[in-house]
């Protein structure tokens, strides 16, 4: 079976979040490397020279912020590319029309859940926008804004995926 050709709008809809996740991953790796360097190289040097210690606590906060955004936007990419897992215990025995209805229903539920996450994320971000993180000094709304971005992205892609036919189920074992 040949893979389906991607249409231009769908390809760009998936490509932009993939680039964002890739950039966030590279940034997170860089931040963690800086943290390791500061902790294990610079702290002993400043201790030996009797200098003031280097504040590197921002590394953990920035890493958590990047991880939150990477996870939620990455989940939307997984949904758009249909790489999420599915369990087919009964559905593969049903007629094709029933499988299609279940397929569309699953994607509507995923889109509804993404909408709830985005809406609740907006509420939490608005509630916490006045709080600042201790080390970075930025609004905590940025952390909870990941729920809005990821929820909105997770809400849009299932509706596009529901128009495509379900993936064929993979048989792990056979009784035949």
Instruction: Centre a 10 Å sphere on the Cβ of residue 2 and count the other Cβ atoms it contains.
Output: 4
- The label of the residue with tokens 């040949």 reads 2
pLDDT in tens, 6-59: 555 556 666 888 899 999 999 999 999 999 999 999 999 999 999 998 888 899
**156 or 168: which leads in pLDDT:** 156
Using the CB atoms, write b or e for 13-45: b if 16+ within 10 Å: bbeebeebbeebeeebeebeeebeebeeeeeee
Per-residue pLDDT, 7: 54
Instruction: Centre a 10 Å sphere on the Cβ of residue 67 and count the other Cβ atoms it contains.
Output: 14
Instruction: Centre a 10 Å sphere on the Cβ of residue 80 and count the other Cβ atoms it contains.
Output: 22
pLDDT in tens, 19-32: 999 999 999 999 99
Using the CB atoms, write b or e for 106-126: b if 16+ within 10 Å: bbeebbeebeebbeebbebbe
Nearest to 169 by CA among 108, 103, 104, 117: 103
Q: Is the pLDDT of residue 88 over 90?
A: no
């Amino acid at each position: 079976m040949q893979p389906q050709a991607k249409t231009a709008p769908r390809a760009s809809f998936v490509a932009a979040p993939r680039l964002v996740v890739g950039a966030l991953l590279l940034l997170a790796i860089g931040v963690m490397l800086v943290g390791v360097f500061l902790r294990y190289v610079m702290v002993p040097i400043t201790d030996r020279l009797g200098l003031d210690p280097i504040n590197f606590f921002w590394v953990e906060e920035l890493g958590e912020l990047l991880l939150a955004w990477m996870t939620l936007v990455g989940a939307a990419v997984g949904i758009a590319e249909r790489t999420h897992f599915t369990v087919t215990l009964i559905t593969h025995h049903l007629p094709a029309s029933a499988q299609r209805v279940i397929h569309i229903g699953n994607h509507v539920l995923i889109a509804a859940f993404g909408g709830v996450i985005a809406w609740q994320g907006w509420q939490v971000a608005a509630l916490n926008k006045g709080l600042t993180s201790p080390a970075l000094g930025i609004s905590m709304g940025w952390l909870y804004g990941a729920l809005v971005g990821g929820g909105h992205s997770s809400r849009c892609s299932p509706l596009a995926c529901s128009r495509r036919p379900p993936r064929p189920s993979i048989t792990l074992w056979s009784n035949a």
